[in-house]
Amino acid sequence: MEYVLSTLKPEKVFYYFEEITRIPRGSGNEQQISNYLINFAKQNSLEFIQDDALNVIIKKPGTIGYETAPTVILQGHMDMVCEKNQKTIHDFEKDPIPLFIEGDFIKAKGTTLGADNGIALAYMLSILEDQEHPHPPLEILITTDEEVGMKGALALDGELLEGRILINLDTEEEGAILVSCAGGARVTAKLPLDVISNNNSYETYHLSIRGLKGGHSGIDINMGRGNANLLMGRILYDLSKIVEYDLIKIEGGSKDNAIPRESDAWISISPKDKKKLEEKINQWSSILAHEYHSIDVDIEVKANKVVLANSIRLSKTTKDKILSLLLTIPNGVQSMSPDMPNLVQSSLNLGVVRMEEKHIIFTTAIRSSVKTLKQHMINQLESLFTQLGATIDIYGDYPAWEYKEESPIREIFQKVYQDIYGKDVEVKAIHAGLECGIFAEKLTGVDMVSFGPNMWDVHTPDERVSISSTERMWNYLLAVLREIQ
């Protein structure tokens, strides 16, 4: 198979990135990529560990003159968010990511790219193979299931690692280093469905929302982008005030850590109400075009008549509960940090609405840099869901990474950036969750920083990574490692 990225530099980094894009590695489907990493270690005669969670640790001694330098942990995650446009034909369990180059960007055709966190893996494999550049003793830590609750990091035995300097490679902004992040949790609610026979005199329509940008539910939550699940709830609630209709099915989003871009609902109405439905959908097309005129400029709302084999509908009681939930559930930014300008402190994202045979599932990602506020949001959801008769499951709880006043590794990153670029690197906190909060608890006294190249629209099919930034941040990493003696 031809390599699309073969002309790019640094050659090894882009070679390994493309290798990785050919291996299935959606969250929960990481056996192949984990085994690939182990085989790489074997081929390069490196010490390795693969634990029960499929986390991989690969160790490499320091180069000449760095044998006694402090051990550095380079860390990233092997899984990726698997999102695609509805019309894109792609099987993430077997198909390579369809890469292409456009100017300074690497993109994928209609799917997520997996640069989050595939570039980190490419960096680490390149360093492990490299025999030219000096570096201290290295422990490469590549975790699983980061995108669905950091399960690999939570399962990791900290005793397997000696290093107390950790460089996390899961940041998406050149010129900035991260020194703090939010904690988080997932809440899934299951609402029982009460179904009854469909009204055979009614006609069925498919309502759809398309064209939203979506985005990362932490990094992009303050961008004001539309949440397709909530917008569908608004439309259905408003429609219920002028038309008697039956709700057959509703679904939207596929990942709780991605702002949902698309939503679908199937309803049945009396033929006499067809015009009212069309007028209401046209009205909402105008409303949303106005509300999101500078944010989600391609938003579309449509209603198309369809024929369904399904002969059941949801009872009015169940329909009313669903509409009530979608209309009132807390979502988006809840509070801003009082200490760091423009930093989101707490947020929620209703990322998934999905129907099963007997239940409708609502999954929300919660983030906060304050533990008590995180619990408050969990309590809010628990109260709302239980009042409506749903059962809830709280999981994937991970801690925040708190800022440290003294950090030698941060000072090295600052010095090296100044030496290379003649300006200060920006020291930032992030609302997204990083595994660093977990490592702070598992690795007593660890000193950490996170950085990476420019990426945009991760967790969406518009994801792209800068080629030139990837090269610059590779050189930055090599320079930082050279400085640690």
Mean pLDDT of 31-36: 98
Q: Token pair of 34, please? A: 């984990």
User: Computed from CA positions of residues 88, 89, 94, 95, in that sequence, does the dihedral angle turn out positive or negative?
Assistant: negative
Q: Which residue has the higher pLDDT, 468 or 148?
A: 468
Tokens found for residue 73: 């942990």
Q: What is the pLDDT of residue 200?
A: 81
With a CB cutoff of 8 Å and minimum separation 6, the contacts of 47 are 41, 58, 59
Tens-place pLDDT, residues 42-72: 999 999 999 999 999 999 999 999 999 999 9
- How confident is the model over 201-223, as a mean pLDDT? 94
Give CA–CA dist 139/419, Å, rounded.
26
* pLDDT recorded at residue 148: 87
* Rounded CA separation 55/448 (Å): 19
Query: Of 209, 78, 227, which Cα lies nearest the Cα of 153?
Result: 78
Q: What is the mean pLDDT of the chain?
A: 96
Q: What is the mean pLDDT of residues 203-221?
A: 95
At 353, list the tokens: 């609405």
Q: Which domains does the chain have, with CATH numbers?
A: 11-170+434-483 (3.40.630.10), 186-398 (3.30.70.360)
Strand partners, 398: 184
Q: How many CA atoms lie within 13 A of 311 on its CB side?
A: 2
Is 90 exceeded by the pLDDT of residue 2? no
Q: Residue 293 carries which DSSP code? A: T
Indicate whether 287 pLDDT > 80. yes
DSSP 304: E
Active site residues: 79, 146
Where do we find the tokens 């190249």?
453
User: Cα–Cα distance between 146 and 396 in angstroms, integer?
Assistant: 10
Please answer whether residues 234 and 287 qualify as being in contact, where contact means their C-beta atoms are separated by less than 8 angstroms.
no
On the question of a cis peptide bond just before residue 96, with omega within 30 degrees of 0, the verdict is: no
pLDDT at res. 310: 72
For residues 202-223, average pLDDT: 95
Whether residue 252 has pLDDT greater than 90: yes
pLDDT in tens, 352-361: 999 999 999 9
pLDDT at 198: 77
Write the pLDDT tens digit of every residue in 87-134: 899 999 999 999 999 999 999 999 999 999 999 999 999 999 999 999
How far, in Å, are 29, 74, 93, 191 from residue 80 at the CA level?
A: 10, 18, 12, 29
- DSSP E strand stretches across 34-175: 47-50, 56-60, 72-77, 99-102, 105-108, 138-143, 165-168
DSSP letter at 242 equals T
pLDDT over threshold 80, residue 244:
yes
Mean pLDDT (whole number) for 34-41: 98
